[in-house]
A and B are shown apart, each in its own frame.
Chain A
Amino acid sequence: MTSSDPHPHDGDSSQDPGTPVLEAQALRKYFPVRGGRGAVVHAVEDVDLRLHRGEVLALVGESGSGKSTIARLLAQLMPATEGRLLLHGSDATVRGRRAFRRYVRRVQMIFQDPFASLNPVHTVRYTLSRSLRIHRGRLRGPALEQALTELLDRVQLRPPERYVDAFPHELSGGQRQRVAIARALAAEPEVLLADEPISMLDVSIRLGILNLLQDLRTRLDIGILYITHDIASARYFADRTMVMYAGRVVETGDSEAVTQDPKHPYTQLLVRSAPDPDGMEDRALGARGEAPSLVTPPSGCRFHPRCPFAVDLCRTEVPPLLEVGAARTAACWGYAERADRPSLGSILETYGGHRAAAATSTPAGATAAGKDQR
């Protein structure tokens, strides 16, 4: 491996961690709507992102919020509508297959579905050898065997002999995901983009995969973008967390801070809605509404149709990411120094007395603004 010195990790982002290994600036992606006469899905809007070596950055958000789109943009599996990609500080936008291959060596992706991402007709040996050959040139004989053994050992498929000649159908979901990770490691990447790597796996084996990724980032100093809809797993695994809502980043910061003291009203709603047997009193109850259409996203703050604190400003101007603490930002006007800003209350207090709210059955249609235009 190119760099195997154990890098003592520290999550303190106030120290300057140097140039990010991967950086995205003002990333934007619009998808045309089929038969939509020029209409587009505003899937990702103005996303900035910095990932350092040896760091785990979580991207959290509900389904359709743009997480996978960001992963695919960062992997350069499709072109961005706008924005820049930097690898070690220099422009990394690839043109042509050679450049793409060089890029992929350093930035590898792991997909959600370990059943679909491995070819069922090939053995583990074939899959891994192929990846080794593509990324590390011609390995053969004992050198190849050695490399295969190392890879399987690294993803804790032990003893390697037991797995190397297996077909995907002979492996469990967790074992397949380990093979997929081994395939990515064959490239000796600096960055792993892991798009919901555990959500299709059995509950009891999910942490095993997260712990494995944790081990890889420490030992191999890999930067990991961990995409998830499960904010508790982001707290468990990631140093920093970015929360997305309807294609925009709404909050960033240290994972512990974001989950324990969420600043953006949406993050608050998310945290207070997640199952949490230890926090049953702190429930956001009686909330209504759902994510908006991205074809005609709400003006201003995209959360405003659901936000109990929204004022005119929220409906007209897009809130920028404002500083809300040490190395923390939130895109909510409530944190701006302006006279016309909304005054934020607590989501808990707003929704906490849920009985009254829940009893007057709010027509969900009234709050699901724009949903029907999908």
Chain B
Amino acid sequence: MSASTTSGTGRHADAAVREPVLEIKNLSVDYGFGQDPTHVLRQVSLTLNRGEVLGLAGESGCGKSTLAYAATRLLPPPGLITGGEVVLTDRSGERRDILTMSDAQLRASRWQDVAIVFQGAMNSLNPVFRIGRQIADAIAAHTPGIRKKQALDRAAELLDMVGISPDRLSAFPHQLSGGMRQRVMIAMALALEPQVLIMDEPTTALDVVMQRQIVEQIAELRERLGFSVVFITHDVSLLIEIADRIAIMYAGEIVEDAAAQDVYRRPRHPYSRGLLRSFPPLRGPRRELTGIAGSPPDLRLLPTGCTFTPRCGFSTPECSRIHPELGPTAFAGAEPDRRVACILHGDVGTLPPELAER
């Protein structure tokens, strides 16, 4: 989230060394026990590099929040992780699988290593307690032995950091606007200086002017404190601006993963292209756009082969037979950092020009 979008520096995707901080490997999640669970996440692999802002985009119900919960082991029942690893590399270079940590290790790691701002979190502040106390309590819960006064001081510091005057410590949640409450949640998540901050739709409920302020604030904090970000939203056009890399999700799978500008200028997956063409541009020529025909599938009744086939304008008969894996694009040699899950990029058929922009 390069604050300096103006200058174009700060974009960490260009950094020479890429050091993974969080690696999600083949993560699978089911909802529902018993005979007939829904396979909501299927073999999702995704890597967050140090210092990077990774955007996760996709429509409602595609599994973005499920991925965030599962990767932090906060998935409530009936959600069940059925396979995979989530490897965290800490600052000393030590690698640990979050999914196999003991409960004690997990408690120690949570908020220190990976912090999460939940979807709709700003509405989860307790209405009867002053926000200072709520932040201080959260700090105390994760910092054994801290004194009340110290925790409150830290709370004031955190509020100041997100641009809220510390004299608001004594405010009740209803006295703050949505944007301020969201900033309180971000302040809390940053309390223990995590390496990774996962934010699930942090600005979706806010107006664009407030969204812009929050997004700027996150960029500024990231530069100052040096954490990495997973930013979840359905708004791809926002991600193109703020993310270094974007992963596009469809029906429980990642279908494309590339640098933000590449996704924007040269989408390789038909769904990515359709999604981009679902947002009318604010400038440039006014032309008719169509969005994507049909609607997102019911995860309980997924089509065979590629799950996007029924809505895809480029599909071939092969598409409903072969399940495409996330792998190199047709230009693998020229773009080694991109991955796409579409058989048109393999040997099958020819790649339509719309998906072959150079």
Contact = CB atoms under 8 A, between A and B. Distances in A.
Given A204-B278, A273-B208, A287-B213, A362 B163 contact: yes
Contacts of A202: 59-60, 295-296
Given A62-B209, A236-B286, A281 B291 contact: no
Which of A277, A352, A358 has the most chain B CB within a 10 Å cutoff? Answer: A277
Nearest to B292: A204
A202 B250 CA distance: 12
A160 B5 CA distance: 49
Interface in A350-373: 352, 354-355, 358-359, 361-366, 368, 371-372
Contact of A279 (B161, B163, B177, B283): B283
B160 A361 contact: yes
Interface in B210-236: 210-213, 216-217, 220, 234-236
A185 interface: no
Contact of A280 (B5, B164, B290): B5
B207 A62 contact: yes
Interface in B265-292: 274-275, 278-284, 286, 288-292
Contacts of B168: 365
Nearest to A214: B288
Contacts of B284: 278
Contacts of A352: 6
Interface residues of B, number: 57
A334 interface: no
Interface stretch (B21-29, B84-92, B237-245, B320-328): B237-245
Contacts of A305: none
Contact of A368 (B177, B208, B275, B278): B177
Contacts of B211: 273
A277 B210 contact: no
Given A278-B284, A365-B165, A372-B171, A207 B278 contact: yes
A274 interface: yes
B179 interface: yes
B299 interface: no
A34 B237 CA distance: 40
A365 B177 CA distance: 10
Contacts of A271: 282
Contacts of B150: none
A204 B274 contact: yes
Which of A175, A204, A236 has the most chain B CB within a 10 Å cutoff? Answer: A204
B306 to A, nearest CB: 16
Which of B210, B279, B284 has the most chain A CB within a 10 Å cutoff? Answer: B279
B282 A274 contact: yes
Interface of A: 62-63, 172-175, 202-208, 211, 229, 231-233, 235-237, 256, 259-260, 269-271, 273-281, 283-288, 290-291, 352, 354-355, 358-359, 361-366, 368, 371-372, 374
Interface of B: 3-6, 59-60, 160-161, 163-165, 167-168, 171, 174-177, 179-180, 183, 207-213, 216-217, 220, 234-238, 240-241, 264, 274-275, 278-284, 286, 288-293, 295-296
26 contacts: A203-B234, A203-B236, A203-B279, A206-B278, A207-B291, A208-B290, A208-B291, A231-B208, A232-B280, A235-B286, A273-B211, A275-B235, A275-B237, A275-B238, A275-B241, A276-B237, A280-B6, A283-B6, A291-B207, A363-B165, A363-B167, A364-B183, A365-B164, A368-B180, A371-B177, A372-B175
